[in-house]
Amino acid sequence: MDSPVVDPGAARVHDALNATAVDYPADDSVPAAFARWADHAPGATAVVCGDRRLTYGELAEAADRLAARLAAAGVRPGQFAGVLVGKGPELVVALLAVLTCGAAYVPFDGAWPDQRVLDLFERTGCGVVLTDRADAVAARFPGVAAVSVTSDDDPGPWSPPAVPADAPAYVNLTSGSGGVPKGVLVQHRAVLRLVSGATYTRLDAGTRVLHMAPITFDAATFEVWGPLLNGGTCVVYPSALPRLSELRRVLVAHSVTTVFLTTALFNSIVDEAPDTLDTVRSVLTGGEAHSLRAMDLALRRYGPGRVTHVYGPTECTTFATHHPVRELPPDGRPVPIGRPIQNTRAHVVADGRLCGPGEVGELLLAGPGLAAGYVGAPEATAARFTEVEVGGARERVYRTGDLVHLDDDGDIVFVGRVDDQVKVNGFRVEPSEVAHHLEQHPAVRQCVVCAVEGALGQRVLVAFVVADDGCTAEALRAHLAGVLPAYLVPGEVHVLGSLPLSETGKVDRRALVAQRAAGRQPRG
């Protein structure tokens, strides 16, 4: 990618936006940072799940024993080890053990098809899986060694290796072209950048962060290492799927201070059981565009500043920007994704130049939070990770593919995807634009707009909407017809009781489209 031309006015705006540098342990590894807290406060609670509890000293000792067993099984520094462990203290022990022996963890879901897992193993060269279901792993993947997290085997004397900050820490799968997922390779330094000197929330010894995301979802990086590398407590949500009544009990029982919620789950909580979050100090939410209706309800319930809109691709280690929500934007404008978090830089670029306020461009991210790239995919890595020169300095950036603009306050506002535009009846259509106007209807709680294959191969717009009782598809189409040209009004509007969620808590668009294609009424 060519380096952007720098306009002095745009440069000044970006300089102010990117004044994010703070001191952080850039040469640390995750095990070294954790060890300092284990030495400083060995009796402090590190992990709690129900009535089970591990102190920092106990977690360090358990992880060290397990790391020794991994080394005895042949896992060497720089290699990859699979992790298939259910939620609980054992999962945290497993993650820390893999990192302690100098390897990187490769989490996967037991429900994934065998071939998807085998492809991941092949790409990473993973030959060992740390698990709480060794027999099942051995049966499914006969060429892989299964190491049990519950075994009491003593591997004998062992000394942990020194782990450099640029060593691989973990691999997360993310979507790729042609249906082939990409393995995002994140280094130790990137994890330390995420959780050290955080500007998006408070992380210290008094912080108690809820760990609810699947370990295959990058939000878990914040939920586990955010507290544990700052002397706080990781509170594990015990169930695979969130239930609002249970969630409230866990938050209260363990005095949780900080939670991350996907947009869809946040909307559901605010709409159905807002008291769930009454005791929480900091609510981080993101992953999709936010409903202004839900955010308005949250502001009224929790007050300004308690909710923070966070944004970040997996390739930038969980969070890249943040926006504390203190008031709703005027005139129905979307909630900004805000400004870069600590030690992160953002550039809005269009046509080879930096954009000034109000100009739409692609968001490029830079800083030590960037992933090393995609495992075993050099072409995909080169397409997304590149070097540009900005303000006289050359730096590596990640091309997000997200279209944004800077508002008059200097905040970044999400507009859509570079690749989200589709042709419908010859017109270029941005589904996010239609969704935005649907959300302005007072009865609409949530919505998803997709372009799907229709008759004779033509693309048609379809809207899936959760709305108040009595709201009809006809009323919603009439509302859109009043504010949009005809080609932007969806040919189909499905009014549902709820939207289905994926395992990561995001709206499962594929399920909605598949149900429609099968001739069934989509259901939540």
> What 3-state DSSP class applies to 164?
coil
Q: Using CB atoms within 10 Å of the CB of residue 510, give its burial: 0 to 12 exposed, 13 to 18 middle, 19+ buried.
A: exposed
Neighbours of 47 (CB within 10 A): 26
471: CB partners within 8 A, 6+ apart:
441, 443, 444, 465, 495
Quickly list DSSP for 249-281.
HHHHHTT--EEEEEHHHHHHHHHH-GGGGTT-S
What is the mean predicted confidence (pLDDT) over 450-455?
75
For residues 430 and 418, what is the distance between their CA atoms, to the nearest angstrom?
Answer: 10
The beta strand positions in 160-229, using DSSP E, are 168-174, 182-187, 208-211
* pLDDT for residue 213: 93
Looking at mean pLDDT, say which of 107-116, 248-257, 436-445 comes out highest.
248-257
* pLDDT for residue 134: 93
Share of the chain above pLDDT 90, in %: 73
HEC states along 377-411? CHHHHHHHEEEEEECCEEEEEEEEEEEEEECCCCC
Neighbours of 142 (CB within 10 A): 7
What is the mean predicted confidence (pLDDT) over 19-46?
98
Closest to 386 measured CA to CA, from 151, 102, 394: 394
Closest to 75 measured CA to CA, from 120, 118, 129, 122: 129
Share of the chain above pLDDT 70, in %: 94
CA dihedral (136, 139, 142, 144) in degrees, to 10, reads 0
Neighbours of 145 (CB within 10 A): 18
91: CB partners within 8 A, 6+ apart:
83, 85, 215, 236
Name the residue with higher pLDDT: 431 or 354.
Answer: 354
**In whole numbers, what is the pLDDT of the chain averaged over residues?**
91
Answer for the pair 90, 75: CB distance below 8 angstroms, yes or no. no
Answer for the pair 101, 124: CB distance below 8 angstroms, yes or no. no
What is the mean predicted confidence (pLDDT) over 182-189?
96
* pLDDT for residue 524: 45
CA dihedral (44, 47, 52, 56) in degrees, to 10, reads -40
* pLDDT for residue 195: 98
Q: Does domain 30-384 have CATH number 3.40.190.10?
A: no
Looking at mean pLDDT, say which of 19-23, 118-122, 181-185, 331-335 comes out highest.
19-23
* pLDDT for residue 458: 64
Name the residue with higher pLDDT: 356 or 264.
Answer: 356
Answer for the pair 359, 155: CB distance below 8 angstroms, yes or no. no
Q: Where are the domains of the chain?
A: 30-384, 420-517
Q: Alpha helix locations (H) across 217-256?
A: 219-228, 244-253
Phi-psi region of 50 (alpha: psi -120 to 50; beta: other; left: phi over 0): left
For residues 286 and 347, what is the distance between their CA atoms, to the nearest angstrom?
Answer: 20
* pLDDT for residue 32: 98
Angle at 140 (CA atoms; ends 137, 146), nearest 5 degrees = 25
pLDDT at 5 over 90: no
What is the mean predicted confidence (pLDDT) over 25-49?
98
Q: Which H or E run contains 416? A: strand 412-417
What is the mean predicted confidence (pLDDT) over 401-417?
92
* pLDDT for residue 112: 87
pLDDT at 411 over 70: yes
Name the residue with higher pLDDT: 203 or 392.
Answer: 203
What is the mean predicted confidence (pLDDT) over 483-511?
87
* pLDDT for residue 392: 73
Compute the Cα dihedral for 112, 114, 116, 117 and give only its sign: positive
What band does 180 get if pLDDT is binned at 50, 70 and 90?
Answer: low
What is the mean predicted confidence (pLDDT) over 214-233?
96
The CATH fold of domain 420-517: GMP Synthetase; Chain A, domain 3 (3.30.300)
Question: Long-range contacts of range 134-138, CB-CB < 8 Å, 24 or more positions apart?
Answer: 136/110, 137/84
